[in-house]
């Protein structure tokens, strides 16, 4: 268990999202693989059934619901320093302990809740990330615009984004994710670094990084 209470200034040198060629489950030489069902998919999803379901049903689909975006923002923050599959497998427990990521319910959580969650082995027991989830909920409630409108205002125009054909064409950080990170930090949110925000943009369809040839492209 990590007991750090401060946010790292740089993300750990591990995958920031499923679609990261540094991941041990990814073949760096193959962007797309064909599964036993005959469908071509981004290769990062090939080695795990839950990754494949996530790739097929969620990753890259437009998500504009503010509650769902708050959940994704929190889970991407918990992922920093870990693999995404670690978070994905724990997502049901995260949803349980954080009241379905209802912003008002999370914002009302107390230090007693933090101490209780630090003992819950079903989630990531990192004090800084737990407290950030709560303080981020309070920051979201204080926004003068809906969270979905704020976040999507930083999405690049679809015409400005070319679908990748190789791992070398998938960035870790972009000007848009850097700008989004800066704005969220200005508004009091934590664990929202530029790399984390680009992973969120990929996951929520703000950019479409399904490789050319993937059936979801």
Q: Alpha-carbon distance 79 to 94, whole Å?
A: 12
pLDDT confidence tier of residue 20, bands split at 50, 70 and 90: low
Dihedral sign of CA atoms 172, 176, 181, 184 in order: negative
Cα angle value 181/186/189 (rounded, 5°) = 70
pLDDT reported for residue 88: 96
Q: Alpha-carbon distance 92 to 109, whole Å?
A: 19
- Contact assessment for residue 199 and residue 176, using Cβ atoms and an 8 Å cutoff: no
Question: Looking at 51, 59, 84, 152, which residue is catalytic?
Answer: 84
Mean pLDDT calculated for residue range 148-172: 92
pLDDT confidence tier of residue 5, bands split at 50, 70 and 90: very low
Q: Alpha-carbon distance 73 to 199, whole Å?
A: 10
17, pLDDT greater than 90: no
Question: Looking at 51, 54, 167, 198, which residue is catalytic?
Answer: 54
Question: Looking at 44, 51, 70, 76, which residue is catalytic?
Answer: 76
């Amino acid at each position: 268990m990590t007991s750090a209470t401060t946010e790292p200034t740089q993300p750990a040198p591990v995958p920031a999202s499923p679609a990261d060629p540094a991941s041990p489950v990814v073949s760096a030489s193959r962007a797309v693989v064909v599964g036993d069902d005959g469908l071509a998919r981004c290769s990062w999803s090939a080695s795990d059934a839950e990754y494949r379901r996530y790739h097929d049903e969620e990753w890259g689909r437009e998500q504009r619901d503010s509650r769902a975006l708050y959940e994704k923002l929190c889970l991407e923050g918990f992922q920093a320093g870990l693999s995404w599959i670690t978070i994905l497998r724990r997502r049901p427990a995260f949803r349980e302990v954080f009241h379905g990521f209802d912003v008002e319910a999370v914002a009302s959580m107390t230090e007693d809740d933090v101490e209780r969650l630090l003992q819950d082995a079903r989630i990531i027991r990192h004090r800084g990330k737990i407290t950030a989830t709560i303080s981020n909920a309070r920051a979201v409630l204080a926004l003068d615009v809906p969270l979905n409108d704020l976040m999507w205002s930083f999405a690049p125009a679809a015409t400005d984004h070319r679908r990748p054909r190789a791992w070398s064409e998938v960035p870790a950080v972009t000007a848009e994710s850097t700008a989004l990170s800066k704005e969220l930090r200005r508004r009091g949110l934590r664990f929202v670094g530029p790399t984390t925000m680009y992973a969120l943009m990929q996951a929520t369809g703000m950019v479409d990084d399904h490789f050319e040839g993937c059936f979801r492209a």
